[in-house]
Structures are given as C-alpha cells and as structure tokens.
Amino acid sequence: MASGANQQTQSLTKPAFTEAQASALVESVFGLKVSKIQPLPSYDDQNFHVYISRTNNTADGPAEYVLKICNTETSKNPDLIEVQNCIIMFLKAAGFPTACVCRTKEGNTTSLVSIDNGSGTKSHLLRLLTFLPGSPVAQTPTSPPLLYEIGRLAATLDKTLETFHHPKLRSLHRDDFIWNLKNVPLLEKYTDAMGQNQNREIVEQVIQLFKKEVVTKLSHFRECINHGDLNDHNILVQPSKSAPGDAGYQVSGVLDFGDMSYGYYVFEVAITIMYMMIESRSPIQVGGYILAGFESVVPLTAVERSALFLLVCSRFCQSLVMAAHSCQLYPENKEYLMITAKTGWKHLQQMFDMGQKAVEEVWFETASSYEAGSSI
C-alpha cells in the first residue's frame, strides 16, 4: 500500500499476529521449518522476514522468505490477491526481479486463516514470497543511469502486462480505489485532515486543475495495468557488476503489487517520478531521467506529455492528503509520516512556484540530452 490509508481504513483491521503465531503458520500452512522470524515494515498489512531451517525437502530451495498477512478488508477480496500473485509469477517468468510465490501444502498460492486475538474472530489471507536481495532505493544515492533504468523498468512492466490474461482480471478495475490517479477528486473527502493552511490551498488548486485538465483528457490516454506504487521502498537495488550505462547500482527487486489497478501509461511514469523526487537533491531533474528511460520503451503522446506536470503534482497531493488523514487515525505514526510529508510539501511547493512550463522545460530537455548522450 502506498504510504497511507486506503478508503476502507476505518473499517479494516491490521493483522496483529505475534512472531510465534506467524512462525507456526509458516510451518502448518507452507510446511517450512522456521529458524528465525522478524517483523518487517508494513502499513495496512503485516509482513515478516522468515528464515527457514534446511531439511532434506528444502535443501535446494531459498532460505529466506516474506510472510505477508493481509488486513481484514483486503482478505475479503481473494480474487484480487490471486490476480496479484499470478502477475508476480508472470513477471518473474518474463525476467523481472519479482519474488517467487510459494505454494501451500495444498498447492494454493494463498490461505485464509482465522484468528481470535481477543476482539472476535478475524480472517486473514496469507501468502509467502521469497525474500529478494538488495536495499530500498530510498537508502541509495541515485544517479542518472539508475533513474533511467527505473523509468525503463516502469514502462517495460506495464508493456509486459499487456500480454497477461487471467479470468479474474476484472478485479483490477478498482473504480473507487483512492490510490488510482483517476480518483484525485475523491481526495476532497479527506482535505479537512489538513486544517486551513497554504498546503491545503495548493491541494485544492491541484484538484480543481485535475478536474478541468486531466479528467477531460483521460479518454485520450493509453490504458494499461499499472503497478501503481513504484515508490522508493518498493524498488530494491544492489551494486552492479555490469549495469547498462554503468549505473553503479542495478534493480534487484520490485515489490508490493498491492496497489495494482487499471490506469494509463502516463500514470505509471508520473507516480515513479514523484517517488523518485522525494530523496533527491535535484528533484526537478529526476523527472527528466525517469522520463528518458520510460520513453525509451513507451514514448508518450503529446496529450500524455502535457498532463504529466499535473499528474506528478496530483500524486504528491494523494500522498500528502492521505498521510495527513492517517495521522488523524493513527497518531502513533505521526512522526514517521511527517518526515516524508515535510519533503513532499517542499517539492510540491517548488513545482508550483516554478510553474508547468519551466518544469516541463527541465524535464524534456534533460530527457532529450540524456537520450542524445547515451546514444553516442
């Protein structure tokens, strides 16, 4: 889940399994003997890093896994989780660094378990993925070649999914999913969480501009399935021996398919640009390198390019408004949420101060000079 809440936040229950309970589930559901288990960060779900002891049956298999336990709301939608699992496997087979999805003892990719931790019985879907190597991009100094690679990956992923078929694919039409960029107008329900200040004024302006200038163009954008959350914690990288263009680092993992839904190519590049700006010292240039990589696979049309600025601003707004909303719901997360939000506001403000034309000039010129440089 993109760092924040989803629409059902108030009714969902985040799982609260203990390490001992999680460990017992890995053994009973997946038949693997756990040697160590540690909690991993998670927002609405619960994730554990699981180490297994090798037995004769698992001697050749991986030793590290991630146990993902869905919240109660998501657990009611097993079709969506099944499609996500199939996409993870499909992308792996197509050569992407996604995890392997482990089978239960019965041969399924998910299992529904019920638990009563004192507040009534709750059902949660479980799955077990292999643990991928590397560190989050958020902890890595990014370079133009790495950003280009990430842009290229985003486009290749969406393009590859054009050939993905599944009888339950319609579950990815998530019409009122708050994180789909189509649904920026739904943010109006949450802006109260921000109080009355200059940030709120910017958000309100972006929402109005979105309604006027993006909603009217949606039918001209090319549709596709979006990963929808290529953020700096969902992309893992590791030092490369021979990355294209000597990026120094190469992508070693693509995680977190929980926000996948039908969207548009231009949404994916906008979302990726926004998240890669967060930790950058030259955030406006970042867009140019990501765009160059993305367009090396999927060149944008003129109408898609003209919406990019507003789409990046809109993603900042989604993230910032939902973070403010989450702070209200879960004040204990406030400190963490506010660190990211502070940088986000700064970048959004900078984009607004520069204006669309000046930002586009940097993006498009950076992208074309990068392309020209890399083809020499």
Ligand X SMILES: Nc1ncnc2c1ncn2[C@@H]1O[C@H](COP(=O)(O)OP(=O)(O)O)[C@@H](O)[C@H]1O
DSSP sequence for 12-78: -------HHHHHHHHHHHH---EEEEEEE--SSSEEEEEEE---TTTTTS-SEEEEEE--HHHHT-H
41, 95, 118, 120: which one contacts ligand X (CB under 6 A)?
41
Q: Of ligand X, Mg ion, none, which one sits near residue 129, judging by CB under 5 to 8 A according to partner kind?
A: ligand X
Measuring CA to CA, which residue among 42, 236, 217, 251 is closest to residue 139? Answer: 236
* Amino acid code (one letter) for 373: G
Given CA atoms 323, 325, 331, 332 in this order, what sign does their dihedral have?
negative
Taking CB within 5 to 8 Å according to partner kind, which of Mg ion, ligand X, none is near residue 195?
none
Tell me the backbone φ, ψ of residue 203, rounded to 5 degrees: -60, -45
HSE of 59, CA atoms in CB hemisphere, 13 A? 2
Instruction: Rule CB under 6 A: choose which of 253, 263, 283, 288 binds ligand X.
Output: 253
When the beta carbons of 128 and 359 are compared against ligand X, the nearer one is 128
Two tokens at 243?
A: 């990355």
Question: Which of 204, 230, 192 is CA-nearest to residue 322?
Answer: 192
Binding of ligand X at residue 47 (CB under 6 A)? Answer: yes
Among the listed residues 131, 330, 336, 345, the single contact to ligand X using CB under 6 A:
131
Please report whether residue 129 would count as binding ligand X according to CB under 6 A.
yes
Region binding ligand X by CB under 6 A among candidate stretches 37-45, 175-183, 241-249, 319-327: 37-45
Which CB, 99 or 206, lies closer to ligand X?
A: 99
Minimum distance from residue 102 beta carbon to ligand X (Å): 11
Which of 10-18, 19-27, 130-138, 310-318 is the region at the interface with ligand X (rule: CB under 6 A)?
Answer: 130-138
Tokens of 97: 């660094």
Answer yes or no: are the C-beta atoms of 311 and 214 closer than 8 Å.
yes
Binding of residue 42 to ligand X (CB under 6 A): yes
* Cα atoms in the Cβ-side hemisphere of radius 13 Å centred on 158: 31
CB of 357 to Mg ion, least distance (A): 34
Work out whether 22 is an interface residue with ligand X (CB under 6 A): no
Which lies closer to Mg ion via its Cβ, residue 4 or residue 263?
A: 4
Q: 82-101 mask for ligand X (x: CB under 6 A)?
A: -----------------x--
- Which H or E run contains 84? helix 78-93
**Which residue number, 9 or 234, has a Cβ lying nearer to Mg ion?**
234
Q: How far is the CA of 101 from the CAs of 62, 125, 181, in angstroms?
A: 12, 14, 28
232 binds ligand X (CB under 6 A): no
Question: CA dihedral defined by 86, 147, 333, 17, rounded to 10 degrees?
Answer: 30
Report what 253 binds from Mg ion, ligand X, none; CB cut-off 5-8 Å by kind: ligand X
How big is the site for ligand X, counted in residues (CB under 6 A)?
A: 19
The one among 102, 157, 255, 323 contacting ligand X by CB under 6 A: 255
> Is 229 known to be catalytic?
yes
Site of interaction with Mg ion (CB under 5 A): 234, 256
Contact between 227 and 157 under an 8 Å Cβ cutoff? The reply is yes
Among Mg ion, ligand X, none, residue 183 binds (CB under 5-8 Å by kind): none
Task: At 246, list the tokens.
Answer: 């000597």
User: Choosing among Mg ion, ligand X, none, which partner's interface includes residue 181 (Cβ < 5 to 8 Å by kind)?
Assistant: none
- Catalytic residue, from 229, 232, 256, 259: name it: 229
Binding site for ligand X (CB under 6 A): 1, 40-43, 45, 47, 66, 99, 129, 131-132, 136, 233-234, 253, 255-256, 258
Catalytic residue positions, numbered:
229
